[in-house]
Structure 1
Amino acid sequence: MFDTRHIKTFHEVVRAGSYSAAARSLGYTQPAITQQMKALEREVGTPLFIRTGRRMRLTEAGEAFARHAETILETVAAARQQMTALTRLRSGRVRVCAFPSANATLIPEAMARLRDGHPGVRVDLLEDEPPESLHRLVGGECDITLAFTYPGLRDEVPDELVEIPLLADQLTVLLPTGHPLARRRAVKLLDLADERWIAGCLRCRANFLHECAELGFAPDIAFTTDDNLVVQSLVAAGVGVGIMPALVLSFLCHQRVTGRVLEPASRRQISAYVLREHLRIPATALVLDELRTVAAARVGC
């Protein structure tokens, strides 16, 4: 491994034409230049200079090394510049994978804050539902994953991941406008046991079935869809009732649908996940901080 200080000195000796001229240019003593060049010759394993009288010229190996020295120094300088920019958060790229409603709410707010404070940090957005999104994180396809879990249906988190809780997202019952239970402030799940249901994504549906089973009934699921707009449209048409997280209702709410708090309260936990060693990467840590900030503002969601 070459010492870049020796390469820099070598480059200056070649440019200046002598050890003494290079010493004056670099602010070294001539013996210091001599020692550095001897050390570099030991590193490359062959002489780089020969003297002919009072003049000094490059050996064949020295000429070959000189052709590479400037490129090496430019590469090192560029690397230092980039590392400085990354550590001072003037630049950086972070890949975030989130589920749809997080990409529609938490992510835009966090990205707006990031743009204002650190415009050089860029974020690539991916979309996937858990647990696939967690698999993508472990597989190196992204740097941060936003995922949700339900209290009774938690997955095992791989040991190499750190979970950072962001938000407890309240579940809301969706009723068609004019439904008799829409007059209540809160609705018990058991009071809807005889209703036809519009079920959502696979994970949400599994939680819904689990909660119904805990209350002793099996719901009549008329339709299933991953599309939140379709769920609300079907409820608005009066063909069933549904359950939807408050985070979704904060940006998407059909005018002919009434939302009521589910009783007893049921919530999904939204968390960020990151590889443990990536917590030390400045740009990744910054994006996590912004996500915490916007999630804290939605605690009442």
Structure 2
Amino acid sequence: MKIPLLQTSALSPALDAALADAYDVHRLWEQDDTAAYLARHGARIEAIATSAPVGASAELIAALPALRVISCRGVGLDKIDLQAARERGIAVSGTFGVLTDCVADLAFGLMIDVARRISAADRFVRDGRWQREKFALTRRISGKRLGIVGLGQIGRAIALRAGGFGMRVRYTGRKPVDGVDYGFEPDVVALAYWADFLVVSVSGGPQTRHLIGASVLDALGAEGFLINIARGTVVDQAALVAALSARTIAGAGLDVLEGEPDVPGELLVLDNVVLTPHMASGTRETRQAMEALLLENLQAFFRTGKLVTPAL
């Protein structure tokens, strides 16, 4: 008999089909009354397949007394109640490693775009303004100072790319990272004061909520740029909108927002911010690798009791 698995949302046609082929899949997002559905079927469910934007709440975990494993497509696990899983001894995996390069690539894309104003220049040409006025001078990337908030796998990949641009790199985090030559700055405000570009690359969740607030943005200053490819909750969005509007920072490149996909109207009218729709891992190659790893984690757990890329 197939193992009963709860799928929290549609993932992709290929992954949905692969899950259905290997497991007895219960498609939670299709149910009109999820509480009633879980009351009927929850006692049998041994696994959850989910994604980072959906996660698995404490309430959902509590409704599944036989749950043994949660396999997530994504690396941001802030919407999975890890404490609830830990208390129950439930294994949790993310698709760590396979999306690192694409997220780091987009971080640099945003950095180049907002500093060189590529999107703004495109609008300038399309609006017919090139024929009657000059485009304003922009800012260079090469040789500048890059501060990275969170030197995990993605942060290190961003730092590696910075070497190709001759940038100086410092970072901050809970503690220094062994085996790296970049300078460690224990205080994020001090890092922002030093940096020309500040890239946010930390996990979301209560511990990092509004880590980048008004004091950090003030320290970054009128010549500094903020890049966020982490989670929208890490940045105090009201403070950021105020800083961008007042030009107390030079600009921002944002792949994530608080309350996404809703976008504050104040951001939409600013020309010193580049906005992308949480697409950092959204390449065909990376998404295929993430989905293969979600399946591999489930298969490994039920075969050996161990995950390939465990979070717990």
**Which structure shows the bigger proportion of residues in strand conformation?**
1
Q: Return the TM-score normalized by structure 1.
A: 0.33
Higher relative contact order (CA 8 A, sep 6+): 1
Which one has the bigger helix percentage? Answer: 1
TM-score relative to the length of structure 2: 0.32
Structure label with greater radius of gyration? 1
